Amino acid sequence: MIRLSRMADYGVVVMTHMAWRRHENQTAHQVAAGTGLPEATAGKLLKVFARSGILTSHRGAHGGYELTRTPEDISVAEIVEAVEGPIALTLCVDEHPGHCGVEALCPMRGGWNRINAALREAFEGLSLAAMAFPAPPEFAGPGGRPAVGL
Amino acid sequence: MIRLSRMADYGVVVMTHMAWRRHENQTAHQVAAGTGLPEATAGKLLKVFARSGILTSHRGAHGGYELTRTPEDISVAEIVEAVEGPIALTLCVDEHPGHCGVEALCPMRGGWNRINAALREAFEGLSLAAMAFPAPPEFAGPGGRPAVGL
DNA sequence: CAAAACAGAACCGATTTGGTTCTATTTTGC
DNA sequence: GCAAAATAGAACCAAATCGGTTCTGTTTTG
Ligand code: FES
Ligand code: FES
């Protein structure tokens, strides 16, 4: 399986929490408590998001974090990129040369770009709001809940 | 970056070689020589592909491998899946329950399926032929070759 | 029966990853 | 002004993963 790193996954969890508590200043401690993540880890992610600009941070006593934009205006792409770097499966993307291990075969690689593009588009087309506030139960399958394992 | 494992990448390289030498029985040794991959590694990949059914193997002296289908009929998805397992970024896919680390937040995960689907479709829509026989030079940028770093 | 080739598992070193810890720095309130 | 509460940022470590090799079969050919 092509694994999305656990950190990126947790990143979405953290941002989901922030979307739920929108406009409430959240400390790292609160986020950790709310998500069940270890405090140091949650803190690390929050710092990353603050640096990337999707969260604003206030330091000092009574500090904390807050969303800079509405959940509708934050894409999952931004979240994942903040923790994982650019969204792409292979190095040979976007004229990023010099990484070709098997250069004799290089010309074929154009095909990867198509896949990278598709992936990036999928991430960009999914908003934090869509993650944090999923479709209401009436659209779900039998059982009343969207089908999500466990 | 969401990295596609190097093995999967090499897998495509190996299959590309097989597409080029279609209908010629290729030994692991020949494939290794043709691709520049270490022999043991090429062998390992060939075995995997044989088991997955996209290559047929003949053992014994004068043995080797051959494509079972035409390059047009083999998708990159099949190649990658053979090496990496199912194409998906997260565990919470396709009713595959029991992996939820942060269950309190589970309902939101439906969104991942959209991304997983997009990724899988991209892989399925790309044939080995498209990888092995890229668009001819007249469609490429200046320089006469499709733009692929290095 | 010997050589050539694949089948499959086991194994090992190196890299990556997840996660913690430590030292600033900033802000607030007494 | 000082202590407490909080983030900023880097350094660090253990564990899991990955890339790659090796070894022991098995099958086929001549
Ligand atoms: S640059 Fe990526 S394969 Fe050549
Ligand atoms: S099953 Fe994947 S998050 Fe709950």
**CB < 7 A to strand D: residues 14-53, chain A:** 27-29, 43-44, 46-47, 50-51
What pLDDT sits at residue B53? 97
Rg of chain A (C-alpha set)? 18
User: pLDDT over 70 for what percent of chain A?
Assistant: 75
- Residue B105 near residue B77, CB atoms below 8 Å: no
> Residue A136: which pLDDT band, with cuts at 50, 70 and 90?
low
For ligand 2, atom 2, the nearest C-alpha belongs to B92
- Residue B13 near residue A98, CB atoms below 8 Å: no
- Residue A49 near residue A26, CB atoms below 8 Å: no
Residue B67 CB contacts under 8 Å (≥ 6 apart), including other chains: B18, B19, B22, B23, B54, B55, B56, B74
Q: Helices H, strands E: what count in chain B? A: 6, 2
Instruction: For residue B120, list chain A residues with Cβ-Cβ distance below 8 A.
Output: none
A96 lines ligand 1 (CB under 6 A): no
User: Bigger pLDDT: A14 or B98?
Assistant: A14
B26 φ/ψ angles, rounded to the nearest 5 degrees = -115, 125
d(CA A72, CA A124): 12
- Spell out the alpha helix ranges (H) of chain B: 6-20, 28-35, 39-52, 76-84, 110-124, 128-132
d(CA B10, CA B1): 18
Distance B107 CA to ligand 2 centre (A): 7
> Residue A139: which pLDDT band, with cuts at 50, 70 and 90?
very low
d(CA B76, CA B57): 20
pTM, rounded to two decimals: 0.84
Q: Which two tokens stand for residue A43?
A: 């803190």
Distance B16 CA to C5 C1' (A): 22
Q: Distance, in angstroms, between A72 CA and closest chain B CA?
A: 14
- For residue B36, the SS3 value is coil
- Ligand 1, from A100, A112, A113, A115: best to mutate by most atoms within 8 Å of Cβ? A100
What pLDDT sits at residue B116? 86
Q: What is the dihedral of CA B20, B23, B27, B31, to 10 degrees?
A: 0
Q: Which two tokens stand for residue B118?
A: 């997009």
CA proximity to B1, closest of A50, A2, A81, A45:
A81
What are the extents of the domains in chain B? 6-132
CA proximity to B54, closest of B7, B6, B14, B5:
B14
Instruction: Give a three-class secondary structure readout of chain A.
Output: CCCCCHHHHHHHHHHHHHHHCCCCCECHHHHHHHHCCCHHHHHHHHHHHHHHCCEEEECCCCCEEEECCCHHHCEHHHHHHHHHCCCCCCCCCCCCCCCCCCHHHHHHHHHHHHHHHHHHHHHHCCEHHHHHCCCCHHHCCCCCCCCCCC
DSSP assigned state of B54: S
Cβ contact (<8 Å) for A92 and B149?
Answer: yes
A106 lines ligand 1 (CB under 6 A): yes
Cβ contact (<8 Å) for B111 and A130?
Answer: yes
Q: Which of A90, A132, A148 sits opposite B106 (nearest CB)?
A: A148
CATH number given to B6-132: 1.10.10.10
What pLDDT sits at residue B69? 98
Distance A132 CA to D21 C1' (A): 47
Q: Strand D closer than 7 Å to the CB of B17?
A: no
Q: Nearest residue on chain A to B137, judged by CA atoms?
A: A107
Nearest nucleotide over every DNA/RNA strand to the A65 CA, judged by C1': D7
- Ligand 2, from B109, B112, B113: best to mutate by most atoms within 8 Å of Cβ? B109
Neighbours of B44 (CB within 10 A): 18
Q: pLDDT at residue A35 above 50?
A: yes
Q: Region A17-23: what's the mean pLDDT?
A: 95
- Residue B35 near residue B26, CB atoms below 8 Å: no
Strand-pair category, B55-58 with A55-58: unpaired
Nearest ligand 2 atom, CA B109: 3
- Residue A71 near residue A86, CB atoms below 8 Å: no
Q: Which two tokens stand for residue B102?
A: 């942060």
Task: Write out residues in chain B with pLDDT < 50, as ranges.
Answer: 94-98, 100-105, 108, 137-150
Q: Nearest residue on chain A to B84, judged by CA atoms?
A: A1
Nearest nucleotide over every DNA/RNA strand to the B7 CA, judged by C1': D19
What are A90-126's pLDDT values in tens digits? 765 544 444 544 444 455 456 787 888 899 999 999 9
How many angstroms from the chain centroid is the CA of residue B72?
14
